[in-house]
């Protein structure tokens, strides 16, 4: 079913939902200013009678059951598309299995070690880390693996069943380097059909449904195939009312170009997440200019602290302290309703099993540091939970506990 044919019953305006995935309502920055990190909700149009639910890999869930939610993570994927061959003098260490003696080298050269790029080999370790995430107050995450980097919805379903963590799978396609010849040959209408089918009926040949579109991969410069996927993304979103998550190319101009293409194709930018801003827009003035476009601003590389960023050596990757300062800047400029944070774990060495920070880093380390830097006492801090269409109730918790994910149905 293409964009010119009759779609399934679309969402009415009253059923279009936005998932306020509240990861961390983390601090009172200045004079009790609230930092609220909001996300989105998708509801299948064929089940409008159950509007206001979140579509996870196990089915529909009441928003109030989500808990603290990370909006950009990976649990089962491969990242061979970004392999960077090591220099000849380091080929031997690059072929060794991950061990304590070479862990430092692999952490600094993550994309030059092929085994490190096979996150899908660590299902049992990830299961343990999700249990730890849950024990530390985590409740849900959005798994952003899409076609091209080995999405595995069956594994996601098993992890959700065995850990009790709510997992929302993403529909769509990663960057051009992973597009098959069949994908490149598809029209915008055909690509739209694929995206809608993955949300309405199931992905990867299963009945397991995706709950968001994304992450949609974009390179710099953008390729023609990626542009078609963006246009299809906008068309599918227009029919479904679902959220979209974008992986921008590694240029400060890329997010602006992507938003323009989405707008021209009919997307709802207020329901669009621009990921990886911590490595994409580094200039403050440019960041504030982009923030005015109205999309969600995602700082999703928390825990990544590198002297040398292999995928784009010209980028000086910020550390977590700088990320916190940027979040504070955005709050002070009035964008507290547009901020999202996550880790984007996609290699083995970012797992706790291999000495990494794991999926609990924001809850256990980042939030307390935000409170400390903001000069807030550890007695209480205010957070807001949206519990109904218009009803908002304040709740207070001692750090580092956080309020549940906020959901608003429009």
Residue ranges of the binding site for a divalent metal cation: 72, 74, 215, 247, 276, 344
CB atoms within 10 A of CB 10: 14
| Residue length of the chain | 410
Q: How many whole angstroms separate alpha carbon 61 and alpha carbon 41?
A: 11
Enter the tokens of residue 323: 């990320």
Numbers of helices and strands, H then E, in the chain: 13, 14
Q: How many whole angstroms separate alpha carbon 54 and alpha carbon 293?
A: 26
Picking from 192, 168, 240, the residue whose alpha carbon sits closest to that of residue 15 is 240
Q: How many whole angstroms separate alpha carbon 399 and alpha carbon 385?
A: 16
- Unique residue bearing structure tokens 């944070």: 341
- The b-or-e profile of 191-214 (16+ CB within 10 A means b, else e) is bbbbbbbbbbeebbeeebbbbbbb
Binding residues: 72, 74, 215, 247, 276, 344
Picking from 405, 408, 368, the residue whose alpha carbon sits closest to that of residue 389 is 408
Enter the tokens of residue 45: 């149009």
Phi then psi dihedrals of residue 54, to 5 deg: -100, 135
Q: Cα torsion at 373, 378, 379, 383 (round to 10°)? A: 60
DSSP string, 191-212: HHHHHHHHHHT-STTSSPPPSE
CB atoms within 10 A of CB 117: 23
Task: Note whether 170 and 212 are within 8 A (CB).
Answer: yes
Q: Which residues pair with 409 in a beta bridge?
A: 17
């Amino acid at each position: 079913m293409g964009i010119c044919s009759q779609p399934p019953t679309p969402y009415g305006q009253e059923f279009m939902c936005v998932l306020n995935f509240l990861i961390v309502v983390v601090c009172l920055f200045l004079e009790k200013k609230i930092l609220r990190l909001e996300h989105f909700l998708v509801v299948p149009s064929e089940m409008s009678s159950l509007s206001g639910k979140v579509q996870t890999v196990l089915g529909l869930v009441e928003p109030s059951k989500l808990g603290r939610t990370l909006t950009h993570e990976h649990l089962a994927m491969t990242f061979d598309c970004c392999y960077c061959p090591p220099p000849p003098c380091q080929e031997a260490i690059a072929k060794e299995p991950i061990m304590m003696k070479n862990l430092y080298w692999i952490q600094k050269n993550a994309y030059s070690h092929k085994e490190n790029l096979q996150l899908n080999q660590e299902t049992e370790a990830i299961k343990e880390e999700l249990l730890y995430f849950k024990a530390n107050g985590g409740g849900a995450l959005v798994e952003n693996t899409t076609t091209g980097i080995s999405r595995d919805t069956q594994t996601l379903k098993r992890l959700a069943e065995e850990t009790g963590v709510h997992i929302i799978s993403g529909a769509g396609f990663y960057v051009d380097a992973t597009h098959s010849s069949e994908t490149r040959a598809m029209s915008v209408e055909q690509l739209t059909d694929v995206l809608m089918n993955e949300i309405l009926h199931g992905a990867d040949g299963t009945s397991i449904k995706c709950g968001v579109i994304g992450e949609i991969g974009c390179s710099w410069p953008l390729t023609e195939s990626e542009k078609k996927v963006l246009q299809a993304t906008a068309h599918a979103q227009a029919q479904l009312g679902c959220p979209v998550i974008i992986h921008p190319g590694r240029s400060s101009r890329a997010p602006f170009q992507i938003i323009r293409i989405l707008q021209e194709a009919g997307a709802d930018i207020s329901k669009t997440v621009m990921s990886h801003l911590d490595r994409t827009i580094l200039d403050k003035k440019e960041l504030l200019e982009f923030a005015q476009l109205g999309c969600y601003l995602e700082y999703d590389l928390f825990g990544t602290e590198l002297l040398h960023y292999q995928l784009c050596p010209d980028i000086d990757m910020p550390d977590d302290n700088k990320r916190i300062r940027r979040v504070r800047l955005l709050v002070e400029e009035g964008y507290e309703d547009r901020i999202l944070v996550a880790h984007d774990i996609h290699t083995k060495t970012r797992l706790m099993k291999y000495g990494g920070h794991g999926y609990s880093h924001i809850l256990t380390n980042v939030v307390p540091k935000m409170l400390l830097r903001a000069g807030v006492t550890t007695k209480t801090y205010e957070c807001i939970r949206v519990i109904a269409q218009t009803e908002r109730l304040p709740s207070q918790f001692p750090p580092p506990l956080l309020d549940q994910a906020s959901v608003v149905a429009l």
